[in-house]
Amino acid sequence: MTSYVPPLRNLRFVLDEMAGLPDILTTEMYNHVDTETVHMVLEEVGRFMAEVVAPTNVDGDQIGSNWSEGGVVTTPDSFKAAYSKIVESGYAAIPFDPDFGGGGFPWVTALAIQELLTSSDMAFSLCNLLTQGAIDAIIHHGEEEQKNTYLPKMLTGEWTGTMNLSEPQAGSDVGAVATKAEPVGDGSYRITGQKIWITFGEHDMADNIIHLVLARTPGAAPGTRGISMFLVPKFLVNSDGSLGDRNDVSCVSIEHKLGIHGSPTCVLAYGDNEGALGWLVGDEFTGMRNMFTMMNNARLSVGLQGVSVAERAYQLSLGYAQERLQGTAVGGEKGVQSPIIEHADVRRLLMTQRSWIDAMRYLIYINGGLLDLANAGVDAAQRESARERASLLIPLSKSLCTDVANETTSLGVQVFGGMGYVEETGAAQHMRDARIGAIYEGTNGIQAADLVGRKLPMRGGQVVEDLLSEFEDIADELREDDRLVRFGDNLVEACGAARTAGRWLLDNGSDLNAALAGSSPYLRLLGTVVCGGYSAKAALVAQGNLEGSEGEFYGARFVSARYFGEQILPQVVGLEKAVTAGSDQLFALSAKQLAI
Amino acid sequence: MCRRAHVLGLDQVVKLSSTMHAMKVVVCVKQIPDPADPGALDPETRTLKRDVKLILDESDSYGVEMALQLVEAAGEGEVTLVSMAPNNERSGLATALAMGAASATLVSDPALVGTDALTTAKILAATIKDQGADLVIAGSESSDGYTGTVPEQIAAVLDLPSVTAAKSVEVDGSNILVKRQTDAGYDSIICPMPAVISVTAGVVEPRYPSFKGIMAAKSKPVEEKLAADLGFEEDQVGWSGSGQEIVEVAEAPTREAGDIIEDDGEAHVKIVEFLESLKVI
């Protein structure tokens, strides 16, 4: 629809000055990489994504992926062409182990590549994202032979990967998985059962697809404790690495969805004939635990999808607002139509998007940088403190960024007025594509329960408290600059609201319904405070660079952060009361009364 | 005098048995301000400000790609780059090195600010002449200055044959066979090597640098030279050595509103008439 301009300067700012990339690159694990190399890579990747992948976005939506008799799934031709170029480029391997052909770069740099890919075409990007998850699982839990057989081709993208958790009766409740794995006796298993929601479970972009499947072995305990993970390739792999027989797995159908039409969401049938051959990944009964090792990365990536789609929608709406002439703006020449960007309310639509996108990017990349430090930190204390803060931020990154993306992509539509409701402008696609983010990879309600049930209680609430105290210190610095006093005051007040709400949840945690009733508003509250705190940090970084050669860029960050502090952050004060209101009114009506 | 390239009639193009030998191709590349964010004209000099980040001119990426393909077809050899810039910006060269070029020479000298096309050609020719190139490839014209004369001037300075507007190039023994784009179709040209050819945009599909290519580019040599290293005196380059002057810069005329033809069943006739008036059909 329109072109995509990779926000490379913003990524450089976020990585180098917000997410601590330079520090991460001093660790033993990553000191073979330097920031200039990272940005050189991002520049080339950005150009590639804008020129090769971004033009596929409309095809993905309008042609979509299609299923035909025999379980064949056909992606748009432009997908196949772009995917083969991604394979040639080797970009997908950048964050992974050099032993299997990777570049050994930190995860936070992989996030930047992912953003560039996802903004270009979210539906298309899911194939790489799922492959990334499968690679991660095999690296952490696979046998050496599995790693050597599958990883090199998965790192290039020649083979793709999938994650198979859900079944018709087992969605958010993964413990209800019923797919069976019968041992054959030679170390392999025969898998039978049906899996649903399998992203890129079948497609025509790669030679082979490596499915990771959760299933139960005979006699396994009920619930999540009895689940094991199996590797089930679409085509069996011969000992010389060549492809052998087709395995007994087939695509029964694909879903017809609100958005991400290019991404085939498959129903996969395992073992319609003799049973699909599969091999254990990790020990028996560790499937669920092993799946959780990828959970942080996966949830962070979905949060990043929110930012990525929001960015593309923002660019589109900004372009329209600059060109569309309607009405005469205040102060404009009478009788001469002004670009709508000159109208105050359109400005608000744009600034709200701009400011949220900046703030969400800080949250996501700081979270990613902390995950790197949790692995690579110089000592145990640094690793542990990074790990616990990263864990706290994960549900915020996932939920807040996907919730807000729903709002900002909708604002993007609003900028277009009636034309935004017309598909041809492309604004609606971003809104439809963004909608899934709040649903998959653990619904945002589940993220809120994770925040209140697991993350807030870490060290008796002290992990949250440490972060709030840091923000209050930053607020003191804001107040030293006349332009930032209001932001500083708002930040102190917002931290107070977060503290009161968190304390109430901890004190009332024994009333589970009350805590869960307040969980979603609390997530919104804390997430907004964290975005406010990081925006404050960005304002302080920008403040020192307003007069330099890049004054225009830093000036934009400075104002965007101030807008957050003055226009968005105050919203949390109202949320405090929703968090602490308890569950009485949620359950006061009977199921029948709800229909009245 | 240049040795002459020969324009062949189509029937004269015969495929000679090609004897492969190592190909050394020098590609002239220019680093320009990003056309997506081009910056401003310097009101004093009436030239583009170049104190911003520079990227590889897209029109040169075709030359780099064609050179890489010729070396790959030959089985051995290498592609080297020559470039000239008033500062030591290298990011455009990095892209070409990441695509697969082996090394680069960058004539980087503040004294070069204001250098005209002919002096540019002389400087580039001075960096090329001792490289033992079989072929020198350049874009037809840069995407910022558009003088479009440098490749031919390099050929003249080096006393090499010059073939312009190449849409395809094939090596045949010690000659190259070039299809040269014309308004009517193309000329088939046979030309002895070494030679200088200029390529037009779109003739090949430039590859994107792979991750391995980007990483490898970091350790590829970029030799920086000053104008003086190549034997140029200060008054021979830059503004003082320039034989041209930019006397005026004017805004391009704004686009006029087009004619809208409503389809009343006869629209096709009007469209045909319009196309005929343009003499395109």
What are the tens digits of pLDDT across the range A185-233? 999 999 999 999 999 999 999 999 999 999 999 999 999 999 999 999 9
DSSP annotation of A474 reads: H
Q: Which helix (H) or strand (E) holds B165?
A: strand B162-172
What sign for the dihedral angle of Cα A507, A510, A514, A515? positive
Which of B49, B97, B211 to mutate against chain A (most A CBs within 10 Å)? B211
On chain A, the residues whose CB falls within 8 A of the CB of B35 are none
Asked whether residue A37 carries a pLDDT value surpassing 50, the answer given is yes
Spell A478-515 as b/e; 16+ CB within 10 A means b. bbeeeebeebbbbbbebbbbbbebbebbeebeeeeebb
The C-alpha atoms of residue A99 and residue A214 are separated, in whole angstroms, by 27
Average pLDDT over residues B2-24: 55
Q: Residue A439 — very low, low, confident or very high, per pLDDT cuts 50/70/90?
A: very high
pTM score: 0.91
Q: Is B4 on the interface with A (CB under 8 A)?
A: no
On average, the pLDDT of chain A sits at 96
Burial class (CB in 10 A: 0-12, 13-18, 19+), B74: middle
Contact by Cβ (8 Å): A324, A210: no
Cβ neighbours of residue A550 closer than 8 Å, sequence gap 6 or more: none
CB pairs under 8 A between A and B: 37
Angle CA A464–A466–A472, to nearest 5: 105
Asked whether residue B13 carries a pLDDT value surpassing 50, the answer given is no
Asked whether residue B281 carries a pLDDT value surpassing 80, the answer given is no
For tokens 């696609």, the residue is: A429
The C-alpha atoms of residue A398 and residue A390 are separated, in whole angstroms, by 12
The C-alpha atoms of residue A324 and residue A315 are separated, in whole angstroms, by 14
Q: What is the pLDDT of residue B2?
A: 42
The Cα of B201 is separated from the nearest Cα of chain A by a number of Å equal to: 16
Asked whether residue B17 carries a pLDDT value surpassing 50, the answer given is no
Angle CA A422–A427–A431, to nearest 5: 110
Pick from A514, A516, A553: nearest CA to A358:
A553
Pick from A279, A102, A269, A100: nearest CA to A187:
A279
Look up the ipTM and state it.
0.92
Residue A270, token pair as written in the block = 């395992």
Q: Is B73 on the interface with A (CB under 8 A)?
A: no
Contact by Cβ (8 Å): A454, A525: no
Asked whether residue A121 carries a pLDDT value surpassing 90, the answer given is yes
On chain B, the residues whose CB falls within 8 A of the CB of A37 are 214-215, 218
Respond yes or no: is residue A441 known to be catalytic. Answer: yes
Hey, which residues does B108 pair with through a beta bridge?
Answer: B85
| Contact between B214 and A44 using a beta-carbon 8 Å cutoff | yes
Q: Residue B5 — very low, low, confident or very high, per pLDDT cuts 50/70/90?
A: low
Question: pLDDT tens digits for A172-187?
Answer: 888 899 999 999 999 9
Q: What is the pLDDT of residue B1?
A: 38
Q: Which domains does chain B have, with CATH numbers?
A: 6-241 (3.40.50.620)
Q: What is the pLDDT of residue B200?
A: 87
Asked whether residue B254 carries a pLDDT value surpassing 80, the answer given is no
Asked whether residue A451 carries a pLDDT value surpassing 80, the answer given is yes
Average pLDDT over residues B266-281: 86
Average pLDDT over residues A55-74: 97
The Cα of A76 is separated from the nearest Cα of chain B by a number of Å equal to: 21
Hey, which residues does B110 pair with through a beta bridge?
Answer: none
| Backbone dihedral angles phi then psi of residue A442, each to the nearest 5 degrees | 85, 110
Give Cα separations from A574 to A154, A468, A569, A580, B62 (angstroms).
48, 18, 11, 11, 59
The C-alpha atoms of residue A191 and residue A170 are separated, in whole angstroms, by 17
Q: What is the pLDDT of residue B256?
A: 75
Angle CA B194–B196–B201, to nearest 5: 140
Give Cα separations from A560 to A489, A534, A540, A564 (angstroms).
17, 12, 12, 6
What sign for the dihedral angle of Cα A464, A469, A472, A474? negative
Residue A22, token pair as written in the block = 């330079």
Q: At B7, is the secondary structure helix, strand, or coil?
A: strand
CA A81 to chain centre: 25
Q: Is B215 on the interface with A (CB under 8 A)?
A: yes
Q: What is the pLDDT of residue B111?
A: 84
Q: What is the pLDDT of residue B11?
A: 44
Q: Residue A510 — very low, low, confident or very high, per pLDDT cuts 50/70/90?
A: confident
Asked whether residue B191 carries a pLDDT value surpassing 60, the answer given is yes
On chain A, the residues whose CB falls within 8 A of the CB of B207 are 88
Residue A367, token pair as written in the block = 């979270």
Average pLDDT over residues A372-377: 97
The Cα of A207 is separated from the nearest Cα of chain B by a number of Å equal to: 21
Strands A235-237 and A276-280: unpaired
Kindly state the percentage of chain A with pLDDT values over 70: 100
What is the Rg, in whole angstroms, of the alpha carbon atoms belonging to chain A? 24
Asked whether residue B10 carries a pLDDT value surpassing 60, the answer given is no
Q: What is the pLDDT of residue B47?
A: 76
Q: What is the pLDDT of residue A138?
A: 97
Contact by Cβ (8 Å): A194, A252: yes
Q: What is the pLDDT of residue B15?
A: 41
Q: Residue A489 — very low, low, confident or very high, per pLDDT cuts 50/70/90?
A: very high
**First and final CA of chain A: distance in angstroms?**
45
Q: What is the pLDDT of residue B6?
A: 62
Going edge to edge, which strands form the sheet with B6-8? B6-8, B186-192, B175-181, B162-172, B195-199, B135-139, B23-28, B77-85, B103-108, B222-225
Residue A111, token pair as written in the block = 């996030």
Asked whether residue B39 carries a pLDDT value surpassing 90, the answer given is no
